[in-house]
């Protein structure tokens, strides 16, 4: 076994350990799909503990995917469970992202702002990507929502998320939230 081969084995082991360490460093939320609503005027919802990570977690990707129609609704809400009852009440919800009867919608209840983006019915997905600065404020954002001040879209105090589905037809929702550190590139020569 020559020196080059040993170095390549060592580099492969180091890169494998690094990749697995980075994968473990991400904080993710992917709640299971909710049961379908029996009637158009009912809703199905569930609350989940949500962790906003540490000061090192500076990237947040939120995606909501569903079979959407002009008369169903699927949304994820974030906030602080101030009363400690394990559920986000109406006054505790700060950010809502999801589908609302023919449009993707983002509502920032702290800044009293709303943005909508129309979409055709079918299997659709919306993604919100935020890059946070060292003080956990939003430095940049990428999404279809253009009419909202991005600086207030993230609150490091959030501790609860709520997924809500409304409408007759099952929407097969998939909600994913991932917080992770800044990616970096390691080059070995």
Are the C-beta atoms of residues 151 and 131 closer than 8 Å to each other? Answer: no
Q: Is residue 1 part of a domain?
A: no
Around 137, how many Cα atoms within 13 Å sit in the side-chain half-sphere?
4
pTM for this prediction? 0.75
- Checking DSSP bridges between strand 122-132 and strand 138-142, what pairing results, if any? antiparallel
For residue 53, give the DSSP letter: -
| Count of domains observed in the chain | 1
Domain with 164 in it: what CATH number?
2.60.120
Q: Which helix (H) or strand (E) holds 11?
A: helix 3-25
| Alpha helix ranges (H) inside 26-147 | none
Confidence label for 9 from pLDDT (cuts 50, 70 and 90):
very low
Range of the structural domain that residue 94 is part of = 28-181
Query: What is the structure's pLDDT at 104?
Result: 93
The SS3 assignment for 3 reads: helix
Q: Is residue 115 part of a domain?
A: yes
Query: What is the structure's pLDDT at 13?
Result: 39
């Amino acid at each position: 076994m020559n020196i080059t081969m040993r170095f390549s084995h060592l580099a492969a082991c180091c890169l494998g350990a690094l990749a697995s360490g980075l994968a473990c460093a991400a904080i993710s939320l992917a709640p299971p799909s909710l049961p379908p609503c029996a009637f158009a005027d009912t809703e199905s919802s569930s609350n989940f503990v949500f962790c906003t990570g540490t000061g090192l977690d500076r990237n947040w990707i939120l995606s909501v995917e569903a079979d959407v129609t002009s008369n169903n609704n699927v949304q994820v809400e974030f906030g602080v469970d101030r009363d400690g009852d394990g559920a986000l009440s109406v006054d505790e919800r700060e950010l809502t992202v999801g589908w609302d009867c023919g449009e993707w919608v983002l509502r920032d209840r702290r800044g009293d702002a709303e943005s909508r983006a129309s979409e055709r019915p079918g299997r659709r997905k919306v993604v919100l990507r935020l890059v946070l600065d060292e003080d956990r404020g939003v430095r940049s954002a990428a999404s279809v929502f253009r009419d909202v001040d991005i600086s207030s879209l993230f609150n490091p105090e959030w501790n609860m998320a709520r997924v809500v589905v409304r409408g007759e037809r099952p929407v097969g929702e998939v909600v994913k939230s991932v917080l992770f550190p800044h990616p970096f590139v390691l080059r070995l020569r």
